[in-house]
Amino acid sequence: MPDLHTTLITGASSGIGRATARALARPGHRLLLGYASGEDRVLRVAEELRSGTGAEVVPVRADLRDPQAAVDSCLAAVERAGRIDALVNNAGINDRSAADALDLKRADEVFAVNTLAPMALASAVGHHMIGTGVRGSIVNVTSVHETVPITGGALYCASKAALGMVTKVLALEFGPYGIRVNSVAPGETATAMNGVHDESSYREISRPDIPLGRPAGAEEIASLIAYLVGPGSGYVTGASLLADGGLALTAAEANARHAFTTVPPRENPPA
């Protein structure tokens, strides 16, 4: 039934992508669940959502390391669906390569998955929306590290910063067609990609240097994505919603603690 509201989510077999699928699944909706190597996981997610929500769920293999092949696969699924209303560019890979030992093959992979493939998918989906008159929504998942640098993050930070700028440019170009383009920038999120295999445990994980004291749960990031996909954000475009527990606020805190404990007292303090 081509009239079903259709959303494509990349990296939907686990983590934020899976949580986003759960947040968006409901009767009258079709979810295209993109995956690369996690076929078994995405099939379990698809069955869970079909039986639990009444949504139509279609797994779509899309390995973003090959952007053109990923776009071709996703567009074929969109053509079979008959329409596309929303795209969630969630899939990504982490990297902590030392800046004095960068591997160009690894750089190609990081930028392909984190920047080029999402940009190409957004371009293709936007083109399809324009051609079919759909006033849709595109959401790119970036990172707090699109603006906050981290040691070992030359490739990762640059790839996410680039996707953040792509978001703003596409918002300008697609806005006249009623297509909104936004991003969600998570801080540390308790997912398997970050070494957390019990994703429900995020409230028990201590992160004392984050003001809220813990990492995010995948469903907390998914709720922001769902907001940007939905009609409640109808006047929001070109925005980046930061969800980092206050991490970006702490840049000067460690230095301030050191400075205030090492500054010698004045010889003649004011009376």
- Quickly state the pLDDT bin for 1 (edges 50, 70, 90): very low
CB 193 within 8 A of CB 216: no
Mean pLDDT of 134-143: 98
Q: How far is CA 86 from the centre of its chain?
A: 14
Indicate if 235 belongs to the active site: no
Evaluate if residue 192 carries a pLDDT over 90.
no
Fold adopted by 5-262: Rossmann fold (3.40.50)
H helices of 62-217, in order, are: 67-81, 104-111, 117-132, 154-174
Catalytic residue among 156, 202, 227, 235: 156
CB 146 within 8 A of CB 118: no
Evaluate if residue 266 carries a pLDDT over 50.
yes
Evaluate if residue 265 carries a pLDDT over 80.
no
Q: What is the pLDDT of residues 100-116, one digit of tens each?
A: 999 999 999 999 999 99
Q: What is the pLDDT of residues 13-66, one digit of tens each?
A: 999 999 999 999 999 999 999 999 889 999 999 999 999 999 999 999 999 999
